[in-house]
Amino acid sequence: MLIHHNFFWGRRVLLPITGLALAVLMQPVISFGQNSKPVDSINIFPPGYYKLKTTDEKMRFLEKAIHDSLDEDQLAHVYEWAREGLALAEQSDVDTMKGIFNFDIAKAYAYAYTKPDSAIVYYKKVLPYFPDKMKSYHVYAVREIMERYSELGNQDSSFVYLDSLKALTDTLPETSPKRVSISQHIATTYQWFGMFNTAIHYFQIAINGERKNGNNRGLGLALANLGELYSESEDDSKALKYSKEALNYLEDVNMPYIMTALNVATYFTSLKQYDSALFYLSKSEKRATQINDANNLLLIRLALAGIYLGQKKYDLARPLLEKSEVELTKSGDRWNLTKTYISLANLDTSTQHYQQAKSSLLKGLQIAKEDKQQTLEVIILQNLAEVSAKMKDYEAAFNYQKQYLNEKDSLTGQKTKASLADLEISYQTRQKEEQIASLQAENKLKFFQLKNSDQKFYFYLAGFITLLLISGIVFYQRSHRIKLKAEKMKAELQTQVLRSQMNPHFIFNCLNSIENFIMLNDQIQASDYLNKFSMLMRNILDSSRNEMLPIAKDMEALRLYVELEQLRFNNKFNYKDFTDPALVGGDYRVPSLLIQPYVENAIIHGLANSENEDLYLTVTASLENDRIKFIIQDNGIGRIQSEEYNRLNRPYHKSIGLKITEDRINLYKCGDETDSSIKITDLYDDYNNPAGTKVEITIKAI
């Protein structure tokens, strides 16, 4: 949850999988008329309001009362007070006050009644009353419109207003409080749409500005928000670093301190450091108890249940989760309610109460689908497949697994699109900052030149030209390096996407094999196949986050893949692998599933089409000086016969898998650029008949 510190700052909620959300206090929805008439003031306004005589006095009184209420997060009467103020301003025809009270009405819609669409309407009404784009109310109205559009998921409209704010920050000094505030809101918008690199950049601008200004409270809030961003991107170590630092600056601010300490406890729980998690959870609970914060006390109870689950103290976790389920259902906090159902299912699965676990997961799935909680939906579908398999309901497991893969692919596609957009915006932002820095340097030189032109005109002119040339060269070189780095990062990201998705034909073949076993009522084979397939998919999804993996883990994933293919081809061939102990003991790392396409090639094109007996496939990995050498060898039909078979049976098939793999291998090649890292040898028997294929792949040891 993002934490803000003055009445202009909203209470937006961003929800990483590992974090905890703040339950929003919902006021009853009221149907408001369009006419701006003073509302019934009985028991609505503070006592001092009734003693005032003039319209101007009443407007100023309401302006201050609303300001104080927003600053203290007390929103109960903001709407009524703002409507009364707007009616008075229209009677007096005071444009400035019309804009201010329209702003306050929008705040009420946004935060008291959580109606972002209505809030946008009133924020837009503010802009004509403050045409100067540097005025605070104009800036904050634009910022609020940007955030409300992002809350509605309307990225295009949100980015229109975001770009206008970015243009404004470029004109402000580095330590300007307005620039610091805007930068943090720009960061949260990029974070909302999954563009984490750009969000980090703007959070750092805010943090640096707060440090230089000595604003400890603002610094603590910016650090806490950056910590939550890292948690959302699943980097709990950095999340801990920034959130713990934030606590040092938030001791005197109750709500941000409670939420940040709670987040720190959650990050420690993710890292399985339960003693530290309990320590920070106790800090959050102590402060929440002091101010009787019921909403955060509920979230603290959920966090405690998570710690008990991690410690396998199921008898302590269950009553906390069951009580939370009841209270969250009443409060309408459906995100945390879904997470509670997932936790209950994990508890019941661990205690082998599979039917109860499935019931909880189905409740959570219904909410996740209705509220479009896609991340939680993917988790639930995966758990339903596993629970169904444990219940020996293989048909249901098969269906849930297919749904899980479909939703996972959709989510991966969205994240990839956001990451590519993030990469492009990061490059454009850095390029623009380089241009601004260059122009600032040029302006300083010109100013200096004009100031001293009477005495040293030619000397400074020459110095200006020299420095301008140097600045141009440095700017060009840095821009070129940034562009190359961006292109490399984009290529690596695209490679990661390709690597994280195995051959669709293989996946569908596996699912069809599982279905076949189910139809034949071969429960043992179906269970064995499904378990291995699930393990392989989990392994691949876990490894897709990292370019390099320990070689033992990568060979284990390769072995699971081959075992599935053996089951698919009725154990037509034998498989052996060997990993040099020096590689395992030395903790060497290799690109994940680098040689899998060559192993797949050996099976599909070499062994599957052979009519011979005693077929085999071997894979070895050995350490040779500063190189790792893989050898894939089979005694199948060989490349010549395989090509002839494909020409007759698959004339239009074109495979790009080996080309992509070859490009990946070349990133880790040894020696000169002309050296080949891949060597393929056709094998023959004593009578010169094809006897298989041998592939040797050499990469540098890492």
584 contacts: CB under 8 Å, gap ≥ 6: 550, 551, 552
Q: Which residue has the higher pLDDT, 277 or 426?
A: 277
Collect all residues with Cβ–Cβ distance below 8 Å to 181 and sequence separation of at least 6.
Answer: 8, 9, 206
Asked, for residue 246, whether it belongs to a domain, the answer is: no
> Is the domain of 447 the same as that of 554?
no
Q: Are residues 451 and 588 in the same domain?
A: no
- pLDDT: which is higher, 86 or 656: 86
Cα separations in angstroms, 615 against 79, 181, 370, 612, 632? 79, 68, 52, 7, 14
- What integer is the mean pLDDT of 225-247? 89
Counting every residue, how long is the chain?
702
Structure confidence at residue 32 (pLDDT): 33
Angle, CA of 698, 699 and 702, to the nearest 5°: 145
Q: pLDDT value at position 282?
A: 95
As a whole number of angstroms, the distance between CA 36 and CA 177 comes to 35
Rounded to a whole number of angstroms, the distance between the first and last alpha carbons of the chain is 39
pLDDT at 381 over 80: yes
Asked whether the beta carbons of 610 and 637 are under 8 A apart, the reply is yes
At 441 the pLDDT is 57
Say what percent of the chain tops pLDDT 70.
Answer: 77
In three-state form (DSSP H/G/I as H, E/B as E, the rest C), the secondary structure along 545-556 is CCCEEEHHHHHH
What was the pLDDT predicted at 463? Answer: 66
In a domain, 205, yes or no: no
Question: Which tokens belong to 262?
Answer: 């709670």
Both structure tokens of 30: 């009221």
Q: Which residue has the higher pLDDT, 598 or 30?
A: 598
Element (H, E) at 586: none
Q: Where are the beta strands (DSSP E) in 84-133?
A: none
Pairing of strands 589-591, 548-550: antiparallel
Let me know whether 658 and 536 are in one domain. yes
pLDDT at 125: 94
Asked if residues 551 and 590 have their Cβ atoms less than 8 Å apart, the reply is yes
Residue 625: the pLDDT is 82
pLDDT digits (tens, 9 = 90+) for 596-606: 889 988 998 88
* Residue 265 pLDDT class (50, 70, 90 cuts): very high
Looking at the predicted structure, is the pLDDT value of residue 350 above 80?
A: yes
Write out pLDDT tens, residues 278-289.
999 999 999 999
- pLDDT class for 17, splitting at 50, 70, 90? very low
Neighbours of 289 (CB within 10 A): 13
Residue 537: pLDDT band (50, 70, 90) is confident
Last residue of a domain, one of 483, 499, 515: 499
pLDDT at 34: 35
- 578 is a domain residue: yes
The reply to whether 441 and 559 lie within a common domain is: no
The position carrying tokens 């034949």 is 520
Return d(Cα 524, Cα 519) in angstroms, integer.
13
Q: What is the arithmetic mean of pLDDT over 515-540?
A: 78
Residue 39 has pLDDT above 50, yes or no: no
Rounded CA gap, 148 and 186, in Å?
Answer: 13
More confident position, 472 or 487: 472
Whether 591 shows a pLDDT value over 70: the answer reads yes
Number of other residues whose CB lies within 10 A of the CB of residue 173: 9
Q: Residue 4: what pLDDT?
A: 35
pLDDT recorded at residue 501: 45
539, 556 Cβ separation under 8 angstroms: yes
Last residue of a domain, one of 437, 464, 499: 499
Cα(371)–Cα(117) distance, rounded to whole angstroms? 17
Backbone angles phi, psi at 89, to 5 degrees: -65, -35
- DSSP-derived secondary structure letter, 43: T
Pairing between β-strand 573-579 and β-strand 615-624 as defined by DSSP bridges: parallel
263 within 8 A of 301, measured Cβ to Cβ? no
Q: Is the confidence at residue 449, as pLDDT, over 60? A: no
* Amino acid present at 229: L
The percentage of residues in the chain with a pLDDT greater than 90, rounded to a whole number, is 36
Least confident of 196-200, 488-492, 558-562, 614-618: 488-492
Cα 201 from chain centroid (whole Å): 15
pLDDT at 131 over 80: yes
Q: Is the pLDDT of residue 469 over 60?
A: yes
**CA neighbor of 475 nearest in space, from 449, 423, 439, 429:** 439
484 and 542 in a single domain? The answer is no
For the chain, the domain total comes to 2
- Whether residue 151 lies inside any domain: the answer is no
CA distances from 248 to 181, 219, 252, 281 (A): 20, 10, 10, 16
Q: Which of 446, 465, 499 is the last residue of a domain?
A: 499
Q: How many whole angstroms separate alpha carbon 229 and alpha carbon 233?
A: 6
Residues 471 and 572 in one domain: no
- Regarding whether 597 and 483 lie in a shared domain, the answer is no
Same domain membership, residue 589 and residue 666 = yes
Residue 593 gets the label, from left (phi > 0), alpha (psi -120 to 50) or beta, of left
Q: What is the mean pLDDT of the chain?
A: 80
Domain membership flag for residue 633: yes
| 73 DSSP 8-state letter | T
Q: For residue 597, give the CATH number of its domain.
A: 3.30.565.10
Same domain, 612 and 682: yes
Name the maximum alpha-carbon separation found in the chain.
114
Tell me: do 491 and 529 sit in the same domain.
no
Query: What is the rounded distance in angstroms from the CA atom of residue 76 to the CA atom of residue 81?
Result: 10
Tell me which of 133-147, 327-341, 517-531, 639-653 is least confident.
639-653
- Which range marks the domain in which residue 422 is found? 410-499
What Å distances lie between residue 459 and 448, 473, 533, 701, CA to CA?
12, 21, 75, 56
Tell me how many helices (H) and strands (E) the chain has. 26, 7
pLDDT tier for residue 650 given thresholds of 50, 70 and 90? low
Helix axes 374-390, 334-350, angle to 10 degrees: 20
Asked if pLDDT for residue 415 goes beyond 70, the answer is no
Quick one: how far is CA 324 from the chain centroid?
26
Tell me, yes or no, whether 294 lies in a domain.
no
Task: State the pTM of this model.
Answer: 0.52
Q: What is the pLDDT of residues 497-513, one digit of tens each?
A: 444 445 555 676 777 77
The one-letter amino acid at 206 = A
Is 476 in the same domain as 539?
no
Q: Which two structure tokens, joined as six digits, stand for 79?
A: 């709407």
The verdict on 492 and 529 lying in the same domain is no
DSSP 340-351: HHHHHHHHHHHT
Tell whether 679 is covered by a domain.
Answer: yes
Residue 444 maps to a domain = yes
